[in-house]
Structure 1
Amino acid sequence: MLTRRDWLLLGLLGGGSSSSLLRAAEHLPQSVTFKGVEKFQQVVARAMAENWAALPMGARVAQFGLALRGTPYVGWTLEIDDRVESPSVNFLGLDCWTFFEVSLGLARMIGRRKSAYGPSDLLREIEETRYRGGVCRGNYLDRIHYLDEWFTDNAARGNIRYVTREVGPVVRLTGRANDEMSLNPKLYRYLRASPALVPQLRQLEARLEKVPFDFIPKDQVAACEGKIQSGYIIGIVTNRAHVYCSHVGLALRTGDGACRFMHASATYKKVVVDKTIHEYLYSVKSHAGIVVGRPR
């Protein structure tokens, strides 16, 4: 029998998304799921003192991204348990995915005016964007694991607007599998512990492969950077086999008029404001282009 949460997920009850009515589904204790509470409190206190909630959404996301600049790069920060999946945040170390996601989550959170915010407030926002349909039931495959699906799922639910075609000319990616995870299950803690998840994951990947995927080629990006605003989410499309997107970050328009790429960098080992987006693309041979989302 479907619960109220299930009906909300299916969009058959009014009143907005499930997470606007329900608290985050915290399936593990916050001692496991939330690291760096002091840093969280510092960033939120500054945001409230400077009234970042009044900023347009994109500028707000970028402001939180800047507040996280210098945070160490730490890979695999989403792999927090062997079996139980739960929304999580780690302010002590970020990878490319958690950097943009935490910046977006903080921007969404601070827009819900309150006198004070705690870890559960941010975990609720993370659940809304990290999990398919905005709901985590404690299962590893509830989580959106591929960036192309993150864009389409969150655009369908109104969390972002998928603006790739509005920004620049696109080409369609064809003839490539999207199965990096199922081919390499030993790299993922949950998949090592539960091999039975791998065939289910492959079914999800096969569905993603049927969704048309268009992107702006990197030789077209310089000409259209003027249409990209601060806080836009920039997915880096790759030429590598078995995956569509290999990296992600945020756009940042700087005082010199440039549009730079802000990201958690494995090269610099921290969150940085890097080159312009097109210069960054050309700095890595395997980068093919970009997809773009505007936060809402």
Structure 2
Amino acid sequence: MLTRRHFLHLGLMSGGASLLQAKEFLPQNVTFKGTEKFQQVVALAQAQNWAALPMGARVAQFGQALRGIKYVGWTLEIDDQVESPSANFTGLDCWTFFEISLGLARMIGKRQSSYAPSDLLKQIEETRYRGGVCHGQYLDRLHYLDEWFTDNAARGNIRYVTRDVGPVVRLTGRANDEMSLNPKLYRYLRANPALVPALRQIEARLEQVPFDYIPKDQVAACEPKIQSGDIIGIVTSRPHVFCSHVGLALRTGDGACHFMHASATYKKVVVDKTIHEYLYSVKSHAGIVVGRPR
């Protein structure tokens, strides 16, 4: 039944006569914020032909175009029940910053005369959800960055290049259960506590996957191998989670490799210190993992 908050997206079989499936999503006035900024960024990309750039450079260009947008936490938590691809150009957190930059770069690579919010949301769905499909369920989403890297690498959206960039060490003896331990912090889990056991099963599976990272005392020497647009996951020494932050690499004119991210410290999207300097600015930062957009 169609309601004010939800609508049904109907998929038809090729003959058009039979109902194949019905997916419930949230309306676009909930899932997409900041249409004017989206249109401005896309117009700039078209005027400067960013689609012709290599993928990593394209991601970095979109990241720079988002500089100055204010930091807003929990921008993925948009409903109590229904999960749906979303984008917010009025406020970004670390995850949505890198993800929207990547989504815009993927979108503009499909040359069209014009682009709509739905074009970006399709790209967000492709990378945000396990297997690239959202069925309207909260646990469809790749909630942990380590699984995001693994799932998207398996589907060819990125290359997981951590071992190519530098020497790695293996993280051992740590749980990856931050969300199931703190369900009241997450809007969907607060409203649906029955999801927590299934989430814990996902976390337990992730804990069995070997996780290697470049320790921060090795990053300065590795920076020449990092490219603009690489996705930089920040590995933490804190318990109960492997990665605590994420951003993009940006090579500047002086040859340095900076960390570009939605910063809770600066309260906006910024081009920060070099990656190794940024790591040393926070005691709990342990190192990095690196994904290269394809």
Normalised by the shorter chain, which TM-score bucket?
Answer: over 0.9
Instruction: State how far apart, in whole Å, the 2-side matches of 1:229 and 1:139 are.
Output: 35
Deviations 1:59-117 (A, max 9, x none): 00000000000000000000000010000000000000000000000000000010100
Partner of 1:14: none
* Cα offset, 1:190, TM superposition: 0.2
Q: Find the residue that maps to 1:255 and give its secondary structure.
A: coil
Q: Find the residue that maps to 2:193 and give its secondary structure.
A: coil
Instruction: State how far apart, in whole Å, the 2-side matches of 1:160 and 1:37 are.
Output: 27
Instruction: Select the structure that is richer in strand.
Output: 2
Partner of 2:237: 239
Partner of 1:11: none
Letter in 2 for 1:79: E
Where has structure 1 moved over 2 Å in runs of 4 or more? none
Partner of 2:67: 69
The percentage of aligned residue pairs carrying the same residue is: 87
**Structure 1 26/230 Cα, relative in aligned 2: closer, same or farther at 3 Å?**
farther
* Cα offset, 1:26, TM superposition: 7.0
* TM-score of the superposed pair, with normalisation by structure 2: 0.92
Letter in 1 for 2:238: R
Partner of 1:89: 87
Partner of 1:177: 175
Instruction: State how far apart, in whole Å, the 2-side matches of 1:189 and 1:232 are.
Output: 30
Q: Equivalent residues in 2 for 1:138-157 (5 A)?
A: 138-157=136-155
Instruction: State how far apart, in whole Å, the 2-side matches of 1:144 and 1:57 are.
Output: 22
* Cα offset, 1:51, TM superposition: 0.3
Instruction: State how far apart, in whole Å, the 2-side matches of 1:48 and 1:224 are.
Output: 34
Q: Find the residue that maps to 2:123 and give its secondary structure.
A: helix
**Structure 1 179/290 Cα, relative in aligned 2: closer, same or farther at 3 Å?**
same
Partner of 1:17: none
* TM-score of the superposed pair, with normalisation by structure 1: 0.91
8 A contact 2:56–2:230 mirrored in 1: yes
Q: Find the residue that maps to 2:77 and give its secondary structure.
A: coil
* Cα offset, 1:192, TM superposition: 0.4
In structure 2, stretches of 5+ residues that fail to align are 1-10, 12-22
Q: How many residues align?
A: 273
Q: Find the residue that maps to 1:196 and give its secondary structure.
A: helix
Q: Give the CA RMSD over aligned residues.
A: 0.9
8 A contact 1:26–1:87 mirrored in 2: no
8 A contact 2:24–2:82 mirrored in 1: no
